[in-house]
Structure formats: C-alpha cells, structure tokens
Chain A
Amino acid sequence: MKKISLCLLSLSLFLISCTDEIDGLTFEKVSPVVSAPIGTVTLSTENLSDLFDSLSLREGPSNVIEFYYDTDFINLPVFDRFSLKNQQFANRIPFTSVGFTNGEMNISSPEEYNSFTIANKDLSDPAAELTKVNFKGGTISISQDKNFDHDLNTNVSFPKLTKNGVALSISLNNIEAITESLTDYKLDLTGSNGDTVNTIEYALNSTIIETGNSDTGSFTLSFALENMEFTYLEGDLKTYRFDDFDGQFDLGLPQNDFPDNIRFTDPKIELTAMNSSGIPFGFNFNGISVIEENGDTSLITGTYLEESQILNASNTPGQSAESIFMVSNENTNNLVDFISNIPESVYFNGFIEANPDTTVKANNYVTDSSGLSVSAQLILPMTGYVNNYAVTDTINNVNLSLSDDGSVSLENINFRVVSENAFPINIAVQLYFMDSTETAGNIVLDSLFDSFEASVISPAGEVNGEGIVNSATTLLSDISIDQEKYERIKTSSKIKLVGKLLSPGANDANPKSVKVTTDNYLTISLGLSAQAIIDPAKF
C-alpha cells in the first residue's frame, strides 16, 4: 500500500509541476467573408396587370401595352317603339236572282286591303312602308251578313298570309263570324304584284243556292285584325330622330396613386355600338366633358363634335352589327391634357337618328328583341413619358447593428446588382439612412449613393426613333459600404427608400414619348459579399 501511495503521490507532484497558470484570456477576432446570391426579380409587362386596380391590361396595336377600362353607357330597345294597330275593312257584294243557273250562283273576286300600317312612337308621318310582318300574336276575324233568304257559302283565302307555307283560308255559311289566331303567321304585304307595300291580298269565293224567294239583296264580309304582336317587321321605316341621350361613365383612373409626372400621350376613348336591328343609326355627340374629382367640368373639343358616326344596321335577324369609333388625339384638341388631370368620369350627350341617309331607300327590319347598345372604353396605351416619377417607402424601426453586444460588426459589404433592362425607362434607387429619434428629429445620416447618376442601377434599354426598345441594357454595379460609412449609418432608425423612373428624353423641352411593348422586361439580380468582424470576447 505504501508503494501505491508513493506512486500516486509522485504522479500528483509530477502533474502539479506540469500545470501552467493563465491569468486572463484574450480573444482574437475573426473576420469571415460571406458571399451569396440573394435573388433575381424578373418584371415582365404581364406583371403590370395589377399596377392599377381599376384598369385592365392588354396588348394593343404594334405590341404596345395598353390599360383600359370598360363601361356601358347606352342600352336602348328598338322594337318597343313599334306597334301594330287594330285594323278593320269590309266588302259588300250585291245579289240578284237573275244570275241563278240550275239553282246556284257563284261569285269570285280577288280583293286587297292596302292600308295595313304600324304605329311608330318617334314618327307619325310619313308612314312606314311595310313589306313583311311575322306575327307573334293577334287575331283575324271575318263575319258574313246577308239580306236575302237564299243559302250563302263563302270561302275567304289569303294567299300571302301563311303558316308553315299554308295560306289562311276561312269558310263561312250564311250569317256567320269566324275568328282565327294569327300566331306564327307570316304576312307578305307586297300585294299581288309583289311591288306594293302595306297591302293584304285575299280572294272571295261565294256560292248562293236558290233556296228562297228573294230576287235581290246583298251580302257583306267584314274583316278585323286585332291585338297583333310581331316577331319581325320589314320595310322602310323612314328617317326619324330616334333618341336623345346623355349620361356619365367612370373612367376608372386611380385617383390616389396615378402619378402626376407620368404622361400618357396617346389616350383614347373607344366607343363600340352593337345594333341588332336592321335600322342604321346616326350617332351624334353634342359634347364630351371630363369631370374631375372636385367637380370641375371641361369640354373636350375637337372635330369629333362635327362627325356623325354611323351605327351599322344588322344584315341578319338575330345578329348584331358592330360599329367602332374613336375619340382620340385625331379628333380632339385637349384629350391628353384632360386625361393627365386624372378625371373621375366623363359626361356626354347627343342624339341618335334612324336612317340618317335620306338619299337611299331604307330596307329596315326590326325583331321583337332588336336593340342598340353603346359601350365606352378608356384606353391608355403605354405610350408617353415618365419624368422622375418617384416611388417612396419608409422602413421604420431599423436596426443596422449586427449585434446588440457589439460582438459582430461590419468590415465592409458589397451589394452586387446585375440589371438587364428592356424597358424604355431608367431606374434609379436611393436609400437615405435617417436618425429619427425624438431628440434628433429626422436627420439624414448618409445616403447610399452620392449622386443621381450613380443611383441609376438599371439604365433603360436602347430606344429607337419610334420610342420602342431595340435592345436591352445590361449593367453590373457594385454598391459598397465600407466600415467608415457603416459607422455613420449604423445608428439609423429609419431608412427612406426612393425609387425614381425616368424615360429617355423625358427631360427635353419637347419630351419624347416612349412605348412599352409586350417584349419589354426587366431582370435585376442581387448578391452580396460581406465581411464581418466577430469579437468572441463580446459574446
């Protein structure tokens, strides 16, 4: 046991003699460099669709992107202006017994009624010249009366009043009245020659049978057309003032975020008329005025006021004819200025005229659903210029200290920006680092860039004479923050971010317009390389 104790004691003494004292530790700092890609943002014209909530986006002529806003402002029925009047006519036919042969007498005669007419709310004279009517409802009643005592049988036929190709034929005996429905009957009003109007052709075939004693007399056939409704009218409905119109439609322009210094230089109001009647209409503006948010109203002037636009007639029942006309720079003097004022709505008034061309004979038709609608579309092609349009945002409660205890600080950081810009717009970004404590107020400690030129991180693509980008511009920028700058900005509590857009030539005395087309795009890639100083002693 003594030996063990001696051995362990020796060992302990040996170990104690091998122990070094360290009083106080000092820590070497480490300064790792980390490089990393942050990401890539690609902006295509499709991404502009949500730029303004109220405006939609589409590809316009020459691939130019355009915003638009739709509104209907005229929607008028046409058919209800016409109605079929109740109409009556009669035939009186004399009788003498001299005519009996073998106890019978036959009387036949073609007849016609040439005053079939309609009522037009907008025109009482001249009367419409009708050639066809298709009935949806109504009746035709025929009554026969006589003043002799022989038997009388009569057949009345209407060769041009047909249903499924079969002419209407009615037989009456002695004194009798018969009523037939006109539903689904088609009436040709062109008469026996086919070149008249408003004429109902019919034929009478009567047989008198010698069963009495009367030597003379007469019989009468009375016709009544009542409660008629049509599915189709055809003829010359004549020229008449159809309707006056006025109204107001919203333009849908964003009132708050639509920038002042963006100017759309090719705005348009496109009017599209859909006419499902066979009547051409003349469309005439008395005026278009823009109404601003504060109620100010301004008249858009120009030649459009002098032009009567033709709303084409439909050639085929059941179909509509489309007519488009434009209120644009071509026929106005001040549309660009007024649109730039971001009007809230547009007021319009004018009148519509049926068959405006009096030099030709009209061949109109109306169905029981014929109508006329006009819609307006505000179109803002992305043709124009932007002059230092600024988008600002503020990031509050910023803390640029990498660690609260100072254990990690920044030696330097380099933001690498690679931009490929095929938009005709220069993009500049500036950051202002601010101390906004209560005592300091809003003091700008430093900015990211020293000049506007330096802040253009994404120059516009190369623009040709038409304002269209020929080729994208690529730029690699290194944005460095050294330790000195970091020391200046690290107490920032707020960062104001300002993005500026400037189209080439926007600053010229006569600003140049550029066009945003469907193949424009912007790709911005961002990476960083940062060197931190880590002081383990401060952990």
Chain B
Amino acid sequence: MLLKKYIFIIGAATLIFCAHKSSAQQEFTLYHMPVLSQSTYLNAASVPEFKVSLTLPGTSVFVGLNNSAFNTKAFVDKSGNVDYAKFVSSLKESNNYLGAGASVDLFNLRLKVANNFFSISSRLIHDTRFLYPQDLLGVVSEGFQDQYSLTGIGLHSSTYIENAVGFTRAKPDSRWTYGGRLKLLSGIANVQTNRSDLELNINNDNIYNYQVDIDLEVNSSVGIDETFTDDLGSLNSVNDYRNAVNLNRGYAIDGGVTYQHTNKLSFGLAVNNVGFINWGNYVRNYTSKFSTTYDGIVIEDFNNSGNNLDSVANHYQEVFKENTDTTKQAYQTWLPSTVFLSAHYQLSPKVRASGSIYTEFFRGISVGGTAGLNISLGKGIDFTTSWWYLRKSAANMGLGLVFKTGWVQSYIIMDNVLPLSFVNINDTELGINDLLLPYQMKNVNFRFGINLVFGRIKNESMLPAQGLMKRKDAFRKYLYKPTSN
C-alpha cells in the first residue's frame, strides 16, 4: 500500500512536469553523495560527515558537456546503417541544444556548530548553450523547398561568480532536516538570445523568390562600467580592465528539506538556483525586426553588372543594419532553477538506494529521473553510482568515488560517462578498426577535486550508535551510514 502511494507521488510529479525543454548543466550523482560538502550545491539540506570541510581555491572543478540529440545511436543503428535523414527527423522542431558548462570552487568552508551547519562558499560558474532548430541540420538532408525556419536559434551564455552563505539545521530528535543558501551573484558576462524568429518562405509560383521575416532580440552585457569607456577596444591592459570592472549584481536562493519517514526511508526536496542577475553594465540590446525579399541578383544596369554579388551582399547588409536597433537597456536573466524530489532507502547500514525526480526550469521545463546507489566501502571510501533518465536519453550512468586519506578527501564524479552500452565498429573499407563508441551517451560531466575535512561526526552525538540495528531510535534521522566505532 505504501509502495503504491510512493509510486503515485512520483508518477504525479512526472505528469506535472511532462515537458522536455532545454536546460542548464546537470549533475545527478553528486546529489547522492552527501559525504561531499559540494553536495550542498544541489541540496541545501544535505548533512555532511565531517564537522569542518574546507575547499581551497581551484581545487574543485566541474566540467560538463551535453546535448539533446547527438550520440552514436542517433546516426547508426546496430546493424551499421548510417541514416542522417532519420537523425534529422528525430530532432525536435526547435529547442535542440548543445551546451557546455564549468565551475571552479574559489573557496568553500562548512562548519558544524551544535546541530547546525554553516557554510560560506564562492565559485566561478560558466554556462553556454546553443539552441538550434531542426531545419538548421535538416538543410543537408531536406534542403529547403517551401519553408525554412531558424526560429529559436540562439546563444545563451553566462559567466558569473556565486558567493553564498548557507545554513543547515539537523536536529537528531527531529524527522526534519532543512537548510538554505543565500547567494550573491556577480555577473561577469552574458549573452542572451531573447527572441529569434527567422523564417524563410519560398514562392514556388515564381522563380522561388525568398520572403525573409526576421524578428530578433539579443542582449549582451560585460561586467565593465559603462561610464568608464564606451569602447571596449580602448581597454588595452590588465590595469584598464581592473579599473573598469563593475560586475552585474544578482541574487539567488537554494532551499532543501529532508523528512525521515521511517528509519529506512526518507524523502527530500531541494530547490536550487531561484534567482536572477540584473545585467546593467556595458549592455547592448540588439533588436531587429523586418521583412525583406530576395529575388537573386538583380541586374538593371546591363552594361555595368560586374559587382552584382557584392552589391547584393552589401544591400542585405544595409537592410539588416537599417533594421537593427542597438540600445543600452538593462535586462534580467533568471538562473536555471532546479528541483530534486527524492526518496532514499537504507538497504543496509552501508548501502543506500535513492530515487529522485529532477525538474529544471530554463526556457521551459525539463524533467528527468535518477536512481542511485551509495555504498560505503569503509576506510574512507565511498562509491556511488547513478542511473538517470533525461530528455529521452536512458543510457546515462554515473559514477562517484570518494577517497579519504588523513585530512584530504579526494573525489571524482563522472555523470553518465559510463553509458550502459557500447558499439564496437569495424569497417575495412573506411579503415575503421575496433572503434569503441558509447552508443547512447549524449552528455558527459566531470567533477573532481579535493577537500580538507576535519572532525568526523561521532555517531553518539548525532545518530544511533548501532545504526539500523537500534530499533529504539527508529524515528531518528538516518542521513548517512554511521560508522561503527
């Protein structure tokens, strides 16, 4: 009965967030690794294993690449048939994407004080996403006969510094653990394609003349004081930039809560990155809205037709320039907010299973599901594996390993770097020998680094001394595997 209920909750949540849209960089395995202080980036209610966790500048790095369409399976079926047209037909009409992201911890300190954890952190975050419609790639297989649409094409890129203070309340005699992070954001640079309607219609009743309709709005900003200079070209030295720097201000919050339903089962909800950045420095708003026709090269001066291609190009450049306005209005971008709705089940004192529904809000809603298994192998070694489903991609397997030697906690996390299946391709005609390719992998994320950790939290002060064996503490939190002393 209880299981049905959980299934219903998860199913309902899935139905609510049934759309699939583009998203920012995702990390899933980290969510299931509370042993790392970085897990608080995804779950503010995450309770670490150590009283003090310190990350020094540059010692924790995340790099991620993802896309919505490209993988081996999209092009090659298992019989070796390569079908580009089929790949194009599998693309969505719009909102396909290629993305890259990275973050570097500049500083991270987390302290336990009584039943509370306080943290202060700073990290440099970059995220770039290129959105493209089906027609962009379809031109090779379909060409263009009646209509060609690049509507939705766009670039979204942000670089900013996130400075955060966090608080987590983990009272042993309460079923609830909760936490939050307040984040002060300093925007360094941004490009935002706010609107891109680019339509080309072909007049098949004439000489296939093109009707082009363009409605474009692109914003950009750099963290340089507009009053310092109106010309970036005049910034010639590091000193120039240093004097001109005026980062764009933004704010965001994270929040998380965990509910210990039974001694084995807990639920979590984490909401992250609810916030925005106001881009007001060195802003350029490019808007272009016009319709024009292209009738080919028009030669009216029959005796002087030498430079018609140039003149056509110049003409359309002029048309574009004439119809493009550049303003300097500040604008706001919202961060890609994420929501984790999770359930954790302690299979044994050293093994915990987790399941979560991941929802992301960024130019639409993306929903995925994650299953994870966290195993404590003892002697400071934690192993976590996850499998997640997102954007019709099911072959996403992640791996996380944590080693602790003395005060040094090392870790490496590879989200979906180990896909569920590979293909080994041989083709003598093409000179391909044993080319091993992940078959369904679309995304790859790496997080690696070291933390300095001090003061393992003693079980007695916080948790049942014998873990699951202690029935009398059935309603106490069981947030991680307690070490046995």
Q: Which residues of A contact B (CB under 8 A)?
A: 3-4, 7, 11, 15, 18-28, 30-44, 47, 49-50, 416-418, 476, 525-529, 531, 534, 536
Residues of B with C-beta under 8 A to A531: 143
Contact call A416/B207, Cβ cutoff below 8 A: yes
Contact call B383/A41, Cβ cutoff below 8 A: no
Residues of B with C-beta under 8 A to A11: 399, 418
From B208, B375, B428, B429, contact of A35 by CB (8 A): B208
Q: Which of B436-479 contact A (CB under 8 A)?
A: 436, 439
Contact call A4/B81, Cβ cutoff below 8 A: no
Q: Which of B52-89 contact A (CB under 8 A)?
A: 76, 78-86
CA distance A40 to B298 in the complex (A): 5
Residues of B with C-beta under 8 A to A15: 418, 422
Contact call A50/B303, Cβ cutoff below 8 A: yes
We find that the number of chain B residues with CB closer than 8 angstroms to chain A is 57
From A28, A40, A47, A527, contact of B208 by CB (8 A): A527
Contact call B76/A25, Cβ cutoff below 8 A: yes
CA distance A49 to B304 in the complex (A): 12
Contact call A37/B143, Cβ cutoff below 8 A: no
Contact call B297/A25, Cβ cutoff below 8 A: no
> Given contacts A38-B296, A40-B295, is CB(A25)–CB(B430) below 8 Å?
yes
Within the complex, the shortest CB–CB distance from A521 to chain B, in Å, comes to: 10
Contact call A527/B296, Cβ cutoff below 8 A: yes
From A4, A47, A416, A534, contact of B302 by CB (8 A): A47
Within the complex, the shortest CB–CB distance from B211 to chain A, in Å, comes to: 11
Contact call A525/B377, Cβ cutoff below 8 A: no
Overall SS of chain A's interface: strand
From B85, B294, B297, contact of A28 by CB (8 A): B85
**25 pairs, A vs B, C-beta closer than 8 Å:** A4-B381, A4-B383, A18-B422, A19-B423, A20-B78, A20-B424, A21-B426, A22-B426, A23-B80, A23-B427, A24-B428, A25-B81, A26-B80, A26-B81, A28-B83, A31-B141, A32-B139, A35-B202, A39-B299, A41-B305, A50-B303, A525-B207, A527-B296, A529-B204, A531-B143
Within the complex, the shortest CB–CB distance from B385 to chain A, in Å, comes to: 8
Q: Which of B289-347 contact A (CB under 8 A)?
A: 294-303, 305, 308
From B144, B210, B383, B436, contact of A19 by CB (8 A): B436
> Given contacts A30-B140, A37-B295, is CB(A22)–CB(B302) below 8 Å?
no
Scoring A23, A35, A38 by chain B CB atoms within 10 A of each residue's CB, the highest score goes to: A35
B348 at the A/B interface (Cβ < 8 Å)?
no
CA distance A38 to B210 in the complex (A): 11
CA distance A33 to B78 in the complex (A): 29
Contact call A529/B296, Cβ cutoff below 8 A: no
Within the complex, the shortest CB–CB distance from A447 to chain B, in Å, comes to: 23
CA distance A44 to B301 in the complex (A): 9
Contact call A24/B427, Cβ cutoff below 8 A: yes
CA distance A322 to B86 in the complex (A): 83
Contact call A42/B299, Cβ cutoff below 8 A: yes
Contact call B303/A22, Cβ cutoff below 8 A: no
> Given contacts A4-B383, A37-B295, is CB(A24)–CB(B426) below 8 Å?
yes
Residues of A with C-beta under 8 A to B302: 41-44, 47
Contact call B206/A34, Cβ cutoff below 8 A: no
Contact call A30/B383, Cβ cutoff below 8 A: no
Contact call A20/B423, Cβ cutoff below 8 A: yes
CA distance A41 to B298 in the complex (A): 6
Residues of A with C-beta under 8 A to B439: 20
Residues of A with C-beta under 8 A to B423: 19-22
Contact call B80/A25, Cβ cutoff below 8 A: yes
> Given contacts A24-B426, A25-B76, A30-B141, is CB(A526)–CB(B207) below 8 Å?
yes
In the complex, residue of chain A having the shortest beta-carbon distance to the beta carbon of B301: A47
CA distance A353 to B101 in the complex (A): 102
Contact with A along B131-153 (1 / 0, CB 8 A): 00000000111111100000000
